[in-house]
Structure 1
Amino acid sequence: MSSDSIHMIKQNNPPPCNTATISFNQIKVQENIVLSRKEYVTIINYSLDFFAVLIDDKFAVMNESALELFGESSKEGVIGQSILAYIHEDFQDSYIEQTRHLQLLGNRKVLKDYVINRADNRSIYVDLFIRMIECDGAKAIEVMMRDVTLKKNMENDITGSELRYRKLVDNLEDFIGIVDIKGKCMYINKAGSIMLGGTKPSELIGQTICAYFHEDYQDACKRRIRKAILDKEPYPKVEKILITKTGKWKIAEVLSYPIEFNGQTACQFIIRDITKRKNAERQLESAKIKYERLIESSTNGIAIIQDNQCKFVNEAARNLFEAKTKEQLLGKGFYKTLDDEFNQDCKKLIESGGVTSKSERILTTLAGKELHTEVIVISTTFEERPAIQLIIRDVTEQKQAQHLMVQAEKMNIVGQLAAGIAHEIRNPLTSLKGFVQLFRSGTMINDEFLDIMEAELERIDIISSEFLSLAKPGTQRFAPTNLLDILEDVVALLDTEAFKYSVTIQKKFRFNEIVVFGLETQLKQVFINLIKNAIEGMPEGGIIEVKANIVQEEVQVSIKDQGVGMTKSQLVRLGEPFYTTKEKGTGLGLMVSYSIVKNHKGKIEVKSKPKKGTTFTVMLPLHTSTIED
């Protein structure tokens, strides 16, 4: 195509666009960089260059710069339209072939000097930068276009012909002006006259161009012109303020260099209005400041960790870790405040990216105090390098409140069992009293009598020991615990209660030992609650099956009764505070049981049918010592 041909292209307006939205939820622009549609659109809208996403060669997303480049007034008229409607017919086959290669080979391509037909019948040269991306997992093409009309035509118009020069620049959107050594305008294009507040270029011919710059730059403008003309040297690009005829201020990028015009050396100005870009940058800076204020005012501790060093902490994090100043934390090793398992999770997240779900962790302050916290870990970047962001909430007081609630419910169980325990102890005491009376009446002591008395005393010892172990606070440190011993003790404790209801408890254990990591007293409390509920749910008596098994490194303890069962609506509400199916129940027993099992990284599942009984299954992580055995 010759240098003038771009102005000779005659192309009708593109056919009406299909305005149906080509929708998608996520866009993968690079490996490990996945954005939502909204995030992607927000990012590209800040770009001054043309950005668009094509699905099946149709526009799915485009920014305002793309709309301006096409000369369109609304996105609705372009979304859903094929890009071929804007590419000149001489370049369409080449575009199709290049995109086919791109889809086969991946990576990216640069398509230079393509001609685009704008909606206003003008044509421009562009460079296309295209690469493959994914939208909801499907292949798509990201397109960036850059208007190179000025560059292209300057390359072609090397003869310096004024006529050809004017044809080139008259339709450009940047200010193009030529001035003499006194700064008087010898030529200005239409975009330049509009930028300065005029209606046509002829109004500005003969006027001094420097007068339209802010007074602080007018002397420098004159020196720039003289340097370009006398020294024949270009002047580097600078940002200055223009003042239009109407007094409106505009921020502009100004570039000047020498040029031959009408047989004399002159100075050419190329000026681009960057007011919108600067406003966008100010908005971004403002948003950054607001974000920083939000972070600093957050009640949650927020920290950024990179290379095992703390790079940022907010005020809440400083207070959380009991530091007098932020400098006590910044630049220091951080992982020592975390447990080993959490350290490994953080390091893996840096490598893989993403966000962890909320987890409960014990952190250590600078003063050595242990904190119970809820932590969310987010993979991020800091100064263009991988890092992690921690969002930390102190739940120590909440944990203490939960502990008090567990203790209160445990004492409630102790009170409920007290009468049954007293009855259970009274029976062997009556037997012992009878033997004593026999011996006093002269009956000879023999081994058979002594064996019976010893058995009764041992029974009293077992029951009283279990009762006391349940009532005492116990240690709050997790430790390896044999779950079968716990179940044996609970069944022994509740045998008397079961007998009162004509209930038989059957134990079915497939292993001699099943070790879990937990608190023995709390786990006893869980199984006492569940078995006691099963007993009370069988007013006509029956059998309770207690099974313990290991399934894929998980301990499963099921408690199955033959009681009245529950409806679906009742099952949904299990574990809610104060919800109970018993006439005199409080509902706190099950709520506490759910909380204890959750703190042991386990869960409880319930299956029940009315009049057919209920099965509670407690699932807990198997401790490694069991696996090794």
Structure 2
Amino acid sequence: MIDDETPIPELSVDQLRASYQELAALAGSLAHEIKNPLSVIRMNMELLAEDFATPQTPKERRALAKIEMVSRQCTRLENLLNDFLRFSRAGRLDIRLGNLNEQIARVLDLFDAQSRENGVEVIRYFDHDLPSVSIDPEALQAALVNLVKNALEAMPAGGQLVARTRITRNGVALDLIDTGCGMDEKTAVRMFDAFYSTKSGGSGLGLPTARKIIEAHGGRIGVQSELNRGTQFTLEFPTPARLADQQDGAKE
């Protein structure tokens, strides 16, 4: 039995980081192990559905309905596991110099057809004098895809999405401003909590993953939102020290 008076040893930052990394690796391995049998279950459900493709009796129709229900839940679990694996890997970056304008432009181009279909006007205000920043292009685009997707989903009846890049005192920033449904205070406070979601069937890992990716770049993400008025996400990234020194020297 542990004596209540026995002091609990404090862990150093390195020990805490090592414990977190070990736990993250274990959780990632577990997710992989779950995915394999889950894929087998879903595949066999699809084969069973083919056998009951033309049900002749009420019993067969009930069986088909149950098969389809299990298949939907398997797909939902697979999506959740994929989101979790992306979340667990979000801090691992392959850093290189890149341009924030190019990154957000590619994502907006990706959603061009959906924007037009939803009646969303996309406006780009890009500062073409932006300095380069240290980024992992694939990871950053994954974060931007999530933010743009959320913005479009917040405007089902159309609206306006503004993407604005600008130079800040310490680096560069990207503002994503939509005229969608906005968020109430409770949602805004919890939006970056893992597994918190207001969407039916949502994993609640999209925004936490986006924040983790941005913070792994040494950046930060902020949000302002008003219910029924819209939302603004602001992403800020630091300029690499050597580039910042060169820019300061050029100004002198």
TM-score normalised according to structure 1 size: 0.27
Instruction: Report the Cα offset of residue 584 of structure 1.
Output: 4.1
- Equivalence for 1:519: 136
Give distance in 2, aligned partners of 1:402 and 1:545. 38
Map 1:123-134 → 2, pairs under 5 A: none
Map 1:166-185 → 2, pairs under 5 A: none
Give distance in 2, aligned partners of 1:479 and 1:404. 28
Asked if 1:397 is matched to 2:14, the reply is: no
Task: List per-residue Cα deviations over 1:217-243 (Å, max 9, x = no partner).
Answer: xxxxxxxxxxxxxxxxxxxxxxxxxxx
Map 1:11-410 → 2, pairs under 5 A: 300=11, 374-375=13-14, 393-394=17-18, 395-398=20-23, 400=25
Instruction: Report the Cα offset of residue 515 of structure 1.
Output: 1.9
Give distance in 2, aligned partners of 1:401 and 1:535. 35
Q: Secondary structure at the match of 1:593?
A: helix
Instruction: Report the Cα offset of residue 404 of structure 1.
Output: 8.3
Q: Which amino acid aligns with 1:559?
A: L
Q: Which amino acid aligns with 2:21?
A: T
Instruction: Report the Cα offset of residue 530 of structure 1.
Output: 0.6
Distance 1:487 1:522, change over 3 A: same
Q: Which amino acid aligns with 1:593?
A: A
Count of residue correspondences: 181
Give distance in 2, aligned partners of 1:535 and 1:604. 19
Asked if 1:577 is matched to 2:194, the reply is: yes
Instruction: Report the Cα offset of residue 575 of structure 1.
Output: 1.1
Identity across matched positions, percent:
27
The answer (yes or no) to whether the contact 2:93–2:139 under 8 Å persists in 1 is no
Give distance in 2, aligned partners of 1:524 and 1:402. 24
Give distance in 2, aligned partners of 1:597 and 1:521. 12
**Which of 91, 96, 99 is residue 482 of structure 1 equivalent to?**
99
Task: List per-residue Cα deviations over 1:500-549 (Å, max 9, x = no partner).
Answer: 21112211112344322231111101111111100110011111000111
- Equivalence for 2:53: none
Task: List per-residue Cα deviations over 1:280-317 (Å, max 9, x = no partner).
Answer: xxxxxxxxxx99xx76xx7x4x6xxxxxxxxxxxxxxx
Map 1:427-466 → 2, pairs under 5 A: none
Q: Which amino acid aligns with 1:521?
A: E
Distance 1:393 1:553, change over 3 A: closer
Give distance in 1, aligned partners of 2:28 and 2:127. 33
Map 1:473-622 → 2, pairs under 5 A: 476-622=93-239
Task: List per-residue Cα deviations over 1:175-195 (Å, max 9, x = no partner).
Answer: xxxxxxxxxxxxxxxxxxxxx
Give distance in 1, aligned partners of 2:109 and 2:238. 25
Give distance in 2, aligned partners of 1:404 and 1:555. 36
Give distance in 1, aligned partners of 2:154 and 2:160. 11
Task: List per-residue Cα deviations over 1:439-461 (Å, max 9, x = no partner).
Answer: xxxxxxxxxxxxxxxxxxxxxxx
The answer (yes or no) to whether the contact 2:130–2:172 under 8 Å persists in 1 is no
Q: Comparing both structures, which one devotes a greater share of its residues to strand?
A: 1
Q: Comparing both structures, which one devotes a greater share of its residues to helix?
A: 2
Q: Secondary structure at the match of 2:232?
A: strand
Instruction: Report the Cα offset of residue 601 of structure 1.
Output: 2.1
Runs of 4 or more consecutive aligned structure 1 residues displaced over 4 Å after TM superposition: 398-405
Instruction: Report the Cα offset of residue 581 of structure 1.
Output: 2.9
The answer (yes or no) to whether the contact 2:211–2:221 under 8 Å persists in 1 is yes
Give distance in 1, aligned partners of 2:214 and 2:95. 13
Q: Which amino acid aligns with 1:482?
A: N
Give distance in 2, aligned partners of 1:477 and 1:535. 29
Task: List per-residue Cα deviations over 1:561-595 (Å, max 9, x = no partner).
Answer: 01111111111111112222334432211111111
Q: Secondary structure at the match of 1:559?
A: strand
The answer (yes or no) to whether the contact 1:548–1:556 under 8 Å persists in 2 is yes
**Which of 221, 240, 252 is residue 623 of structure 1 equivalent to?**
240
Greater relative contact order structure (CA < 8 Å, 6+ sep)? 2
The runs of 5 or more residues in structure 2 that have no matched partner are 1-5, 33-88, 248-252
Instruction: Report the Cα offset of residue 596 of structure 1.
Output: 1.2
Give distance in 1, aligned partners of 2:28 and 2:94. 13
Give distance in 1, aligned partners of 2:106 and 2:151. 17
The answer (yes or no) to whether the contact 1:507–1:546 under 8 Å persists in 2 is yes
- Equivalence for 1:89: none
Give distance in 1, aligned partners of 2:193 and 2:229. 23
